[in-house]
Amino acid sequence: MSMRKVFVAAVPAVLIALTAPVPAQQSPNLGKPISQEDLASWDISIGPDGAGLPPGSGTVQQGEAVFAAKCQACHGEKGAGQPNDRLVGGQGSLPGDKPAIKTVGSYWPYATTLFDYIRRAMPLNESKSLTNDEVYAVVAYLLNLNGIIPVSETMNAESLPKVMMPNREGFVTFTRGK
Amino acid sequence: MKETSRSETERVAGNGLLHRRMFLTGSAAAIGAGTIVDQAGAAPLAVEPWMRIPGAPFNAYGQPSKYEEKVARTWASAPGTGGTGSARTPHHLLNGMITPSGLHFERSHSGVPDIDPDKHRLLIHGLVKRPLVFTLDDLGRYPMQSRIAFVECAGNSGALFAKQPANANVQAIHGLLSCSEWTGIKLSVLLEEAGIDPAAKWVLAEGADAAGMSRSFPIEKALDDAMVCLYQNGERVRPSNGYPLRLLLPGFEGNMNVKWLRRIKLTAGPTMTKDETSKYTILLPSGKALQFVFPLEGKSIITHPSPGLTVRGPGFYEISGLAWSGYGKIAKVEVSADGGKSWGLAALQEPVLSKAVTRFRMAWQWDGGPAVLQSRATDETGYVQPSRAQLVALRGDRGNYHNNMIQSWAVAASGEVKNVYA
């Protein structure tokens, strides 16, 4: 009987320790505060509203040169693909049951994602090496190749979030059982 | 005794499926009762050299037996790249519920970074009262917890969407699933320390790899069971699985369990990263795509027998496999040996844990004729794993991701096992 009592008393203590959120004042608090300025080099994500877009700008023409020098070897001439992902075309291929061609132009809902992704991950073997101007430029070039912006348009922190991607309304938030 | 023996070998479904009581009672004698067949006697026993001379000395880090070299991952990379792609777990050669760390599947977007742990930092910022930076030494001093959880790539089993069944084995089709014991710190503890702004509704997680892999998830998950993990199966997380720090979002698609975790940013809405728009969304026949499909659904696969594991003549076999659900525990697994015409209840190997794989076992007396083996999981929410026809009717066959349809393995009279649609 005494054994049983000990056991019953011990179980809740363990459960509490493992599941209850530790109140902040009891927390170890070992993190060091950092200023916005000192963390800026890591804060590279761009929201769909353009939050986080840096200063700078680029034109379609400038982007064509960046693409030829730094992207074409893997993504093909004018982004046609091969050996790696195709970046252009496919509009109209999403409905039905034939294989869909999902590209920046046919599938991506936000142009801001293009800036975010290219700056962090491309060119594959030298990621984070492009200047902000180069990223804006190559983004402008890819949008133009997809017929989304005219050749005269410049991409910057103001214009990029305003670009309406053809598939902006193409996504439905999943709900289980629906 | 005789009474029991007969019921132990009771057939519960077509084509030789036996009652799971055999496993629950653990009575090996019972198996023999109805099934002893004429067998040639065993050869005389030899006293082998290793029984006579001392074995190898100690070594620093143990390796599998040299006879087990074929127990290995297989992989494919994007053209021209070494480490943009995935490596798969050989489930047909494993048993139990834990995947050995060196065989845990891997999906990497720009190789495995060589991270110096002394230079690694975790930044928590965005909609918080004060942004914080943690070193690994700091994190190592926090109260830790352990849990066993599966990680499954959302693209796992995508091969079953192909119009014709691929000539492929369980590793090639279902190898982007693994299960480990993970040890680390509740993410909520670190967020509370930074002070959560009430406007924060989503969390962005980002890796320190060259791809800067990043995903958003709702803050509810961060406050529920999210962990930042330092240890996997008792040792530091392996480089290919995120050394020195990995996010674990139990039950959520593998890509969200960000490896090499360097940054957590609280935001008002989803960031709409490349891997939550261009990828990991499910394109439907309507042309619309499902987005933010986070937990993996109830699912099971038979690992034994499966392609490559030829069944050697009529007699007793254990059918076994894995079942899991991102929504909780597995409630039951049914097995069929006649392509879904009849089903028997499999024994569930303890422990049965939420958001972990559960090993199931079914006794099978193969009569040597053609058979089609299937397994069907039901999770604790009552969700039942769909057939191929049901899933394709719901979502078409171009969805790529979250394929949890029932797998069919055909066993031919020759004993050869093949992937089929049934």
The residue type of B359 is: R
- The rounded mean pLDDT for chain B is 94
Would the CB atoms of A171 and B132 count as touching at under 8 Å? no
Write down the pLDDT at residue B161.
Answer: 97
Question: With bands split at pLDDT 50, 70 and 90, how would you rate the model's confidence at B22?
Answer: confident
The residues, ordered by sequence, that sit 6+ positions from B321 with a Cβ below 8 Å of its Cβ are B300, B301, B302, B303, B304, B333, B359, B360, B375
Closest residue in A to B132 (Cα) is A33
Do the bridges between strand B214-218 and strand B202-207 make them parallel or antiparallel, or are there none, so unpaired? Answer: antiparallel
d(CA B142, CA B233): 19
Q: Please, which pLDDT band fits residue B32 given cuts at 50, 70 and 90?
A: very low
Q: In the prediction, which pLDDT does A14 show?
A: 41
**φ/ψ (deg, to 5) at B365:** -105, 100
Give the best residue of A120, A127, A135, A142 to mutate against chain B (max B CB count within 10 A). A120
**What pLDDT is stored for residue B5 in this prediction?**
45
Q: How many residues does chain A have?
A: 178
Give the residue-averaged pLDDT of B113-123: 98
Q: Looking at the complex, report in whole angstroms how far the Cα of residue A25 sits from the nearest Cα belonging to chain B.
A: 8
Confidence of residue B36 (pLDDT cuts 50, 70, 90): low
Instruction: List the single residue in A31, A96, A113 with the smallest CB-CB distance to B134.
Output: A31
> Cβ separation of A39 and B133 shorter than 8 Å?
yes
Q: What would the pLDDT profile of B301-341 be if each residue is shown by its tens digit?
A: 999 999 999 899 999 999 999 999 999 999 999 999 999 99
Residues of B in contact with A113 (CB under 8 A): 272-274, 277-278
pTM given for the model: 0.93
Scanning every residue of chain B, which has its alpha carbon at the shortest distance from the alpha carbon of A82? B79
CA separation for the pair B397, B141 (Å, rounded): 48
Q: What is the ipTM of this complex?
A: 0.92
Residues paired with B267 in a beta bridge: B202
With bands split at pLDDT 50, 70 and 90, how would you rate the model's confidence at B252? very high
In this predicted model, what pLDDT tens digit does every residue of B160-176 receive, in sequence order? Answer: 999 999 999 999 999 99
For the segment B37-87, what is each residue's pLDDT rounded down to a tens digit? 567 899 999 999 999 999 999 999 999 999 999 999 999 999 999 899 999
Give how far Cα B358 sits from Cα of A62, B9, B148, B329, B348, Å.
56, 24, 11, 8, 7
Identity at B228, one-letter amino acid code: V
Share of chain B above pLDDT 70, in %: 94
A45-162 placed in CATH 3.30.460.10: no
Q: Do A47 and B271 touch (CB under 8 A)?
A: yes
Q: Which one of B127, B141, B230, B273 makes the best mutation probe of the A interface by having the most chain A beta carbons within 10 Å? A: B273
Q: Which of B228, B274, B297 to mutate to test the interface with A (most CBs of A within 10 A)?
A: B274
Q: Do B265 and A45 touch (CB under 8 A)?
A: yes
Looking at beta carbons, which residues of chain B come within 8 Å of A83? 78-80
- Tell me the nearest-neighbour CA distance from B281 into chain A, angstroms: 8
Instruction: Give the Cβ contact number of residue B157 at 10 Å.
Output: 23
Predicted local confidence at residue B21, as pLDDT: 76
Task: List, as one string, the DSSP characters of B165-234.
Answer: --S--HHHHH-SEEEEEEEEEEHHHHHHHH-B-TT--EEEEEESSTT--EEEEEHHHHHHT-EEEEEETT
From chain A, the residues in CB contact with B130 under 8 A are: 33
More confident residue, B108 or B37: B108
Q: Which two tokens stand for residue B393?
A: 């009717």
Size of interface A-B (CB pairs under 8 A): 164
Give the strand order in the sheet containing B85-88.
Answer: B74-77, B85-88, B106-108
Predicted confidence band of residue B26 (pLDDT cuts 50, 70, 90): low
pLDDT tens across the length of chain A (178 residues): 344 443 433 444 444 444 445 455 689 999 999 999 999 999 999 999 999 999 999 999 999 999 999 999 999 999 999 999 999 999 999 999 999 999 999 999 999 999 999 999 999 999 999 999 999 999 999 999 999 999 999 999 999 999 999 999 999 999 997 6
Q: Per the CB < 8 Å rule, is A104 touching B188?
A: no
Q: Which residues of A touch B251 (CB under 8 A)?
A: none
Give the closest of A83, A112, A171 to B80, CB-based: A83
Q: What is the pLDDT of residues B347-388, one digit of tens each?
A: 999 999 999 999 999 999 999 999 999 999 999 999 999 999
Chain B CB within 8 Å of residue A161 CB? no
Q: Is A45 in Cβ contact with B273 (below 8 Å)?
A: yes
A25, A32, A178: which to substitute to probe chain B, counting the most B Cβ within 10 Å? A32
**Residue numbers of A between 77 and 136 with CB closer than 8 Å to B:** 83-84, 94-97, 99-100, 102, 104, 107-110, 112-113, 116-117, 120-121, 124, 127-128
- In this structure, what are the phi and psi dihedrals at residue A15, rounded to the nearest 5 degrees? -60, -45
What are the chain A neighbours of B163 within 8 Å (beta carbons)? none
Contact between B272 and A48 using a beta-carbon 8 Å cutoff? yes
Residue B34, pLDDT > 90, answer no
Q: Which domains does chain B have, with CATH numbers?
A: 122-286 (3.90.420.10), 299-420 (2.60.40.650)
**Chain position carrying tokens 């099971």:** B300
User: Which residues in chain A are contacts of B263 at CB distance < 8 A?
Assistant: 42-43
**Whole-number CA gyration radius for chain A:** 24
- Closest Cβ–Cβ partner in B130, B194, B273 for A113: B273
pLDDT of residue B24: 62
